[in-house]
């Protein structure tokens, strides 16, 4: 199992803030909009340097999406910022009608996604957003795994023409990907080559998959671990190449098992090469209030859950 080390922990939302700041210095067409959550979205540094390119919309998220769509007509590249729940569920109609339908060049940047929002509870812990957004035609869906990758993704989507949903989170997690990485939309990242089971992970679950890989290695199980940072478009070639070797699959995500990364992989396998598969995801449920660690444990999103899923799927393969 390949070793991954880290010297610090940072929240992925700060990676977004750092990427937005860099874009403010390099791309004059980038503008930012926020729904009264500047501090939570880490947009402060961008605003200090570019006050004329920032629009505080207030608690009016639907209006924010409409304004963002309009700004693209004048050649601007709007980055909207609010919590993932408000970036999707509250404004789905506006995104569908004003942004996705006409392919507007809006970057919908969503923080505080998933269970790791923690104590704010079920009303804010959206676990359906990936499914909602990937079902929209023209929409690209990205869920990076750490600070560095979130920064790189933020910068990369400014050069991509079309609507993008960029999902990131609140908790501090290990920073283990390179600071100078090139982020390629739709291109999975191989983290560890293996032969016994393919583990496809996204977002906060990528680090958990790495930890699971070490546990599995101690048990004599060779896990192939792949970071699927872009859920739509899915890197189908990478998935199919991996499962051709391992013949079984585990997907891992901080999202409902219905509609997320696992479902995208399952659909691909059904069309090409049906194989045993296990999901590590929330089981069609809402969350609740608690610390991130408590919630990840209760809802089965830890490295030990990934290990157990890998062992189950290998046993199915061998039957």
Question: What would the pLDDT profile of 14-55 be if each residue is shown by its tens digit?
Answer: 999 999 999 999 999 999 999 999 999 999 999 999 999 999
pLDDT of residue 9: 98
Task: Give the whole-angstrom CA distance, residue 47 versus residue 40.
Answer: 14
Cα dist from 275 to 188, 234, 279, 316, 318, whole Å: 20, 18, 13, 10, 12
Contact present, 43 and 20 (Cβ < 8 Å):
yes
pLDDT of residue 262: 98
- State the pLDDT confidence band at 227, using cuts at 50, 70 and 90: very high
Segment 239-283, tens digit of pLDDT? 999 999 999 999 999 999 999 999 999 999 999 999 999 999 999
pLDDT of residue 296: 98
Pairing of strands 164-167, 140-142: parallel
Segment 146-166, tens digit of pLDDT? 999 999 999 999 999 999 999
Write down the mean pLDDT value for the chain: 98
- State the pLDDT confidence band at 91, using cuts at 50, 70 and 90: very high
The predicted model gives 301-306 an average pLDDT of 98
The predicted model gives 117-140 an average pLDDT of 97
Cα dist from 270 to 7, 74, 164, 266, 314, whole Å: 41, 43, 27, 6, 18
- State the pLDDT confidence band at 137, using cuts at 50, 70 and 90: very high
Burial of 7 (0-12, 13-18, 19+ CB in 10 A): exposed
Segment 180-194, tens digit of pLDDT? 999 999 999 999 999
Q: Is the dihedral of CA 16, 20, 23, 25 positive or negative?
A: negative
pLDDT of residue 106: 98
């Amino acid at each position: 199992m390949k070793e991954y080390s880290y010297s610090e922990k940072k929240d992925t939302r700060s990676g977004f803030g750092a990427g937005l700041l860099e874009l403010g210095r390099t791309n004059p067409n980038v503008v930012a909009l926020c729904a009264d959550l500047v501090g939570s979205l880490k947009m402060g540094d961008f605003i200090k340097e570019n006050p004329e390119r920032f629009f505080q919309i207030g608690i009016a998220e639907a209006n924010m999406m409409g304004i963002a769509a309009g700004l693209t007509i004048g050649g601007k590249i709007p980055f909207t910022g609010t919590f993932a729940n408000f970036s999707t569920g509250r404004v789905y109609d506006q995104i569908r009608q004003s942004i996705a339908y006409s392919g507007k060049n809006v970057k919908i940047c969503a923080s505080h996604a998933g269970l790791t929002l923690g104590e704010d509870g079920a009303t804010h812990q959206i676990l359906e957003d990936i499914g909602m957004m990937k079902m929209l035609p023209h929409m690209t869906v990205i869920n990076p795994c750490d600070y560095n990758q979130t920064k790189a993704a933020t910068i990369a989507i400014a050069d991509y023409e079309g609507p993008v949903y960029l999902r990131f989170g609140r908790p501090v997690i290990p920073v283990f990907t390179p600071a100078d990485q090139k982020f390629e939309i739709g291109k999975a990242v191989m983290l560890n080559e293996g032969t016994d089971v393919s583990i496809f992970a996204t977002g906060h679950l990528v680090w958990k998959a790495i930890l699971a890989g070490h546990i599995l290695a101690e048990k004599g199980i060779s896990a192939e671990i792949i970071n699927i940072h872009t859920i739509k478009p899915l890197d189908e070639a990478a998935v199919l190449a991996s499962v051709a070797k391992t013949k079984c699959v585990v997907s891992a995500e901080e999202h409902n098992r219905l509609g997320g990364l696992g479902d995208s992989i399952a659909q691909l396998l059904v069309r090409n090469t049906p194989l045993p598969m296990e999901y590590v995801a929330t089981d069609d449920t809402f969350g609740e209030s608690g610390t991130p660690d408590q919630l990840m444990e209760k809802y089965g999103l830890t490295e030990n859950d990934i290990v157990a899923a890998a062992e189950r799927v290998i046993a199915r393969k061998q039957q």
